Amino acid sequence: MSKVEDIVSQYLHTSSPLKRKVYVFLGLILTFFAIIGIFIPGWPTVSWAVPAAFLFSLSSERLFRWSLTNRFFGSAILEYYSTGKTIPKHSKYIIASLISLMSIVSAIVVFRLGDPGYGSATILFVGILGIIYVTFIVKSRKSEK
């Protein structure tokens, strides 16, 4: 449990009472979406739970602890925070590749549906921004072997 204590002491921040209520409300909505992912195949779970944990770290020690220790997605969030909020390097490559693939496929579909090019160009531009963000902004760690 000392690992959880260290993470809570490092990442828990207090906010004004109004911000705290807003953050708890938004965090609970994201947690609800994460719980849906437990039961519906293909619906992401951790993708909703990580931002919820972040909002809880700004608002509620009890909910932040719960997000780090719950049995469904707590281990993934605990690992994310315990490694300094990083993702494995190989995951960055996979994410960038998937963004590229899906952006290209989406741009082709939109182009074939008759858009004069603005929709396709927008999709490709946003895809490139996503690749740049994942590649250069998101911190990574060496892949586990």
Question: What is the DSSP secondary-structure string of 95-118?
Answer: HHHHHHHHHHHHHHHHHHTT--SH
Q: Which pairs count as long-range contacts for 48-56, CB under 8 Å and 24+ apart, including other chains?
A: 49/73, 49/76, 49/77, 50/76, 50/77, 50/80, 51/27, 52/27, 52/28, 53/27, 53/77, 53/81, 55/23, 55/24, 55/26, 55/27, 55/30, 56/23, 56/24, 56/27
Q: pTM for this one?
A: 0.70
Residues 6 and 69 in one domain: yes
Residues 58 and 123 in one domain: no
CB 44 within 8 A of CB 76: no
pLDDT bin (cut points 50, 70, 90) of residue 105 is very high
The residue that leads in pLDDT, 24 or 82, is 24
Residues 39 and 97 in one domain: no
Torsion angle of the four alpha carbons 1, 72, 59, 78, in this order, in degrees rounded to the nearest 10: 40
Residues 29 and 53 in one domain: yes
* Average pLDDT score over the chain: 90
* Rounded average pLDDT over 124-139: 95
Nearest to 127 by CA among 91, 94, 102, 93: 102
Residues 10 and 45 in one domain: yes
**Does the pLDDT at position 80 exceed 90?**
no
Residues 62 and 91 in one domain: no
* Rounded average pLDDT over 84-103: 92
**Does the pLDDT at position 1 exceed 50?**
no
Domain count, the chain: 2
Range of the domain at 131: 87-141
